[in-house]
Amino acid sequence: MTYPQTTILLLGAGELGSAFLPHLSALPNAHITIGIRSPSKYTHLQSPNISLTAIDLTSPSLSLAKTFSTYDILISATGFGADPSSVLKLAEEALLAGKIRKEQGKGKLWFFPWQWGVDYDVIGDGEGMMPLFGAQRDVRNLLRRKAEQSNVKWTVRVGGKQVQQEAWSIEHLKEELDSAPEDGIKKYRLVFARDGVWWEMSRTVNKALGMNMMDVETFTRSLFSR
């Protein structure tokens, strides 16, 4: 039996989007389209199963939703620099795309919103310090309410990088922020030190599923053993 090709739209080709490409391109019977504002800058990413298309996420929602509806899977890799309002706009467009697919007799749109490894239900917007976190929480709540009726399946995928670590107390971080209340990095540090952005290993999905993952110590040791 021949199965139809799965079409995937990947939004973004920066550090995050590029990291996905080797894994997505290895999927059987799938074609990946990278949606970026200036395709001419990314021609080196093209291959037999990877193509480029011009997409401006500030475009009108109906136009974007119609584009999204032509794909089976929509993956957002817009990254941490996204405007808080844009992530909710994209989620609403994904829901509209799912409705369009339903009207056309197509299956559900599978939407992967961009999310950091944070429990947004706990941390919210970090007491006003991280508006993007609040927007990510709103994205989850919107999808919980409307995805099923909108013909959308959604999966939270988190993105981030390993960084050098140094132990600072929450009190130290508060003092640092008090000295420069408008410093975005110091806000970021304090928010990430509070509950909702870390959890016990026993509560992780990889532990529950028995998936072996590389921890920080193993990664660091590998750097020095090369």
pLDDT digits (tens, 9 = 90+) for 128-187: 667 777 888 899 999 999 999 999 999 875 544 436 445 567 777 778 778 878 777 777
Q: What is the mean pLDDT of residues 82-111?
A: 94
In percent, the amount of the chain with pLDDT more than 70 equals: 80
Name residue, tokens 């079409």: 7
pLDDT grade for 31, boundaries at 50, 70 and 90 = very high
Q: What is the mean pLDDT of residues 112-129?
A: 72
In this prediction, residue 93 carries a pLDDT of: 98
- Where are the chain's structural domains? 1-161, 162-226
Q: What is the mean pLDDT of residues 60-83?
A: 90
Fold for the domain defined by 1-161? Rossmann fold (3.40.50)
Pairing of the two strands 73-76 and 6-11: parallel
The answer to whether the predicted template modeling score (pTM) of the entire model surpasses 0.85 is: no
pLDDT value at 226 more than 80 = no
User: For residues 173 and 129, what is the distance between their CA atoms, to the nearest angstrom?
Assistant: 13
